Amino acid sequence: MPIVMDHRVEDRFLAAYERYQSMNGTSGPLSDLSQKAIERFAEVGFPTRKNESWKYTNITPVINRTYQIADPETTTVDGIEGLDAYRAVFVNGLFAPEHSILDGLPSGAVVESLHGASEDDLIQTHVGTYADYHQEPFTALNTAFLKDGVVIRVSSGVKLDRPVHIIHVITADQPILVQPRTLIHAGEGASIQVVYSTELKGSTSALINAVTEIHVSKEAQVEFSDLQIGTPTTSRVTNLSVYQQNQSKFQSDVFTFGGEITRNNLSIHADAEHCESLLHGLFMAREKSHIDNSTFVDHAKPNCMSSEYYKGILDEDAVGVFHGQVLVREDAQLINAYQTNRSILLTDTARMFSKPALEIYADDVKCSHGATTGQLDKEGLFYLRSRGIHEKDARRLMLTSFAGDIIEKSPIQALHEVIYGHVDRMLS
Amino acid sequence: MKSILNIQGLKASVEGMPILNGVNLSINAGEVHAIMGPNGSGKSTLASVLAGNEDYEIDGGTVDYLGTDLLDMDVDERAREGVFLAFQYPVELPGVSTMNFLKQAVNSVREHQGLEPLKAAALLRLAREKAALIELDARLKQRSVNQGFSGGEKKRNEIFQLAMLEPTLAILDETDSGLDIDALRSVSNGVNQLRTPDRGFLVITHYQRLLDYLVPDFVHVMVNGKLVRSGGRELALELEEHGYDWIQDHLPE
């Protein structure tokens, strides 16, 4: 007699958790955290569109599918052409030293697997500290299944000469759930650039639930570039949580192309004075692709600056969401917080939801937000065509320029050409 | 003499409102024609219609350009065939680099003419030459197209593009508006250097002062969407003296 499963979808994940943990799952100092996280997940469950912050993004169809958690297979790694970087490769979420290139890291810089990391103290102090599993069910799920991940530690005063490229290779012939985990700790005055990308091998569907925590110590600088090239059967939820100390500088450059459903949560906790936080994003989608960027900047202390600039190009039936939340706490005087979101809809059926949410409790602050969504500028198009440029080239020129504004904010030159290439492919 | 443009009975409207009410005009190679007229007479509409602006509805008439039906071509096709409009209000294109724009424009036209595309170095050289010709500040080429340009810089940039694209028919739509006298003189000098025996100009202006520098072969006066008087250079001076009311009062019935 068949067993009818009419449990809620969360129960399937809870059952999978039990099996996972009985088979060599989370170990060592993180077991306790994992246990707490699954308990929290069991309480809150997956978000639905009834949650205010998921109003425009319906993740339920993606969650309802069945996924496997699979061990890595033998695979290849493409990397990013022209990018000269240290390389940490993970296959299906597990560290793959044979594909990683970590020779030549300066002393004081360590890139290693979370599993068996050299400093338990660092792990225990920081993992799960910034990515709040109480608030965010996907973070809870990721934390519950914690097994491996990457730890990047840059000691005080060490400035990396090249970026560190984290590559997640996903390879499977069955629908797969992968939950990458990253911890970046930049010590006082340290400086590091990180490029984060995903490579999908095979045509199966995938759900990626990534959590990245970044600690930016006093006077440190961290730049984080996230390049995601989706497929129509890949969905991705990311939670990037950044904690900033005195006079630190953080910049993110998030490039998202396609994918079934993408939800990028980015949260900045500026917990000291004179922090600078720059959040840039470019998203491009067509067909029925859905890309949601939700940012949260928490200004807890005075004299800080944050600037958000997101741009999107949506074609066919694609949907974009930008939800920009800024909190300026009562004591956080003299804050400058800016937010801009511009989107171009190329069809009548593409949609964009742009929702700024500024909560300001201090009285001496400068905060602004602006959102525009529109069609490609007709006058501009006419002007270009009036100079002999074919219509499709004129459209491409205008859209490439529109995107270029964000692309060129990335300090990593090698990424520019690669991303322009992806923009071009999306436009053709 | 070789005919470039022959307009017969051209009628056009925007949102159901007639603006051109039967324009007849013929331009031969080497000629400079000026169209003057009061505000709202339809001068700029004629320029837009010739360039291929689809906001206007063609209600009648024909436009022959070098033996083909101009009205049957799209705006970019017309440009590749050698029709150039210097805009009254050039459009700012934030993010679109001037050199990239010029490269695409010049090479679209060259490709159409069966010529090899210009490589970056050759294009830069050409741009430098042409910028010097019309005294365009070379630094403007480093910027986005027209972005943050002053009124005068924008107009000069139009003439610079004209010089780069070397059209057969150049239409200047109120290129003088918003220019001070020095800018007017230097822009006119630039245009004068682009006058060649095989190129025709249609210069649209409200004021005759442009024509002091850019001396036309023919002057036409447009009132209510029709060319009501045509003459030589002296017609512009007459208009200057008497004003447009004088023309309107002396229309032949």
Cα atoms in the 13 Å half-sphere on the side-chain side of A358: 16
pLDDT score of A203: 76
In a mutagenesis test of the A interface, which of B87, B92, B108, B159 is the best target, namely the one with the most A β-carbons within 10 Å?
Answer: B108
Element (H, E) at A396: helix A391-407
Structure tokens at B235: 């017609």
Per-residue model confidence (pLDDT) at position A256: 98
Q: Looking at residues B17-26, what average pLDDT do you find?
A: 97
The larger pLDDT score, comparing residue B84 to residue B143, is at B84
Residue B92 φ then ψ, to 5°: -85, 135
Q: How far is A380 from chain B (nearest CA, A)?
A: 6
Contacts of B147 in chain A (CB under 8 A): none
Residue-number span of the structural domain to which B87 is assigned: 3-249
At A125-150, the pLDDT tens digits run 999 999 999 999 999 999 999 988 99
B76 vs chain A: nearest CA distance in angstroms?
4
Chain B positions in Cβ-Cβ contact with residue A379 (cut-off 8 Å): 91
> Which of A380, A389, A397 has the CB atom closest to B76's CB atom?
A389
Q: Which residues of A touch B85 (CB under 8 A)?
A: 386
Residue type, B40: G
Mean pLDDT value across residues B159-173: 96
| CA–CA gap between residue B110 and residue B132 (Å, rounded) | 22
Question: How far is Cα B90 from Cα B94, in angstroms, rounded to an integer?
Answer: 13
- To the nearest whole Å, the CA of A50 is away from the closest chain B CA by 39
Q: Is B93 on the interface with A (CB under 8 A)?
A: yes
State how far residue A409 is from chain B, nearest Cα, in angstroms.
13
Cβ separation B76–A388 shorter than 8 A: yes
In the prediction, which pLDDT does A6 show?
53
Between chain A and chain B, the number of residue pairs with CB atoms below 8 A apart is 74
Residue B234 phi, psi dihedral angles, 5° rounding:
-65, -25
Q: Which of A293, A404, A298 is nearest to A353 (CA)?
A: A293
Nearest-CA neighbor of A422 among A285, A224, A288? Answer: A285
pLDDT in tens, B90-122: 999 988 999 999 999 999 999 999 999 999 999
| pLDDT above 70 (res B48) | yes
pLDDT (0 to 100) of residue A169: 95
Best mutation target, B96, B102, B147, to test chain A (most A CBs within 10 A): B96
Q: Any chain A CB within 8 A of the CB of B147?
A: no
pLDDT band for position B252 (50/70/90)? low
Residue B251 has pLDDT above 80, yes or no: no
- Taking 50 as the pLDDT cut, the residues of chain A under it are none
Mutate to test the interface with A, among B53, B54, B70, B75 (most CBs of A within 10 A): B75
- Cβ <8 Å between A397 and B108: no
Interface contact A382-B94, CB threshold 8 A: no
Contact A181, A142 (CB under 8 A): yes
The β-bridge relationship of strands B200-204 and B32-36 is parallel
Distance from CA of A311 to the nearest CA of B (A): 13
DSSP B171-223: EEESTTTT--HHHHHHHHHHHHHT--TT-EEEEE-SSTHHHHHS--SEEEEEE
Which tokens go with A88?
A: 């940490």
pLDDT digits (tens, 9 = 90+) for A228-284: 999 999 999 999 999 999 999 999 999 999 999 999 999 999 999 999 999 999 999
Helices (H), chain B: 43-51, 75-80, 98-112, 120-133, 151-165, 181-193, 209-213, 233-242, 244-249
ipTM value for the complex: 0.96
- Residue B96 and residue A386: Cβ atoms within 8 Å? no
Tell me the per-residue pLDDT of B27-41, one tens digit each, with 9 for 90 and over: 999 999 999 999 899
Nearest residue of A to residue B52, measured between CA atoms: A386
- Angle in degrees, CA A299, A304, A306, rounded to 5: 75
pLDDT of residue B134: 82
Q: How many domains does chain B have?
A: 1
Domains of chain A: which residue ranges?
Answer: 9-272, 380-428
- Non-local CB neighbours of B129 within 8 Å, separated by 6+ positions: none
Q: Residue B22: which CATH number? A: 3.40.50.300
Say whether A401 and B93 touch across the interface (CB within 8 A): yes
Q: Is B80 within 8 Å of chain A by CB?
A: yes
- Contact (CB, 8 A) for B212 and B187: no
- Mark yes or no for CB contact B76/A379 under 8 Å: no
Q: Do B79 and A387 touch (CB under 8 A)?
A: yes
Interchain contact, B79 vs A397, CB within 8 Å? no
Residue in B79, B93, B100 closest to A386 by CB: B79
B residues 33-72 lying closer than 8 A (beta carbon) to A: 51-53
So what's the pLDDT on residue A72? 77
Report CA A61 to chain centroid distance, whole Å: 21
Which residues of chain A are within 8 Å of residue B104 when distances are taken between CB atoms? 384, 389, 393, 397
Cβ contact A360:A336 at 8 Å: no
Show the DSSP H helices in A57-205 as ranges. Answer: 60-63, 120-126, 137-144
Instruction: Provide the percentage of residues in chain B whose pLDDT is more than 90.
Output: 76
Check if the beta carbon of residue A37 is closer than 8 Å to that of residue A128. Answer: yes
Amino acid A28: pLDDT: 76
In our burial notation (b when 16+ CB lie closer than 10 A, e otherwise), range A386-409 reads: bbbbbeebbbbbbbbbbbbbbbee
The predicted pLDDT at position B136 comes to 84
pTM of the model: 0.89
pLDDT at A26: 79
Is B80 in Cβ contact with A404 (below 8 Å)?
A: no
CB contact under 8 Å between B144 and A401, yes or no, is yes
**Hey, what are B156's tokens?**
């000069």
Question: Which residues of chain A have a CB within 8 Å of the CB of B109?
Answer: 388
In this prediction, residue B79 carries a pLDDT of 98
DSSP string, A230-261: --TTEEEEEEEEEEE-TT-EEEEEEEEE--SE
The Cα–Cα gap between A185 and A129 comes to: 12
Query: B107 CB contacts (<8 Å, ≥6 apart)?
Result: B117, B118
3-state secondary structure of A28: helix
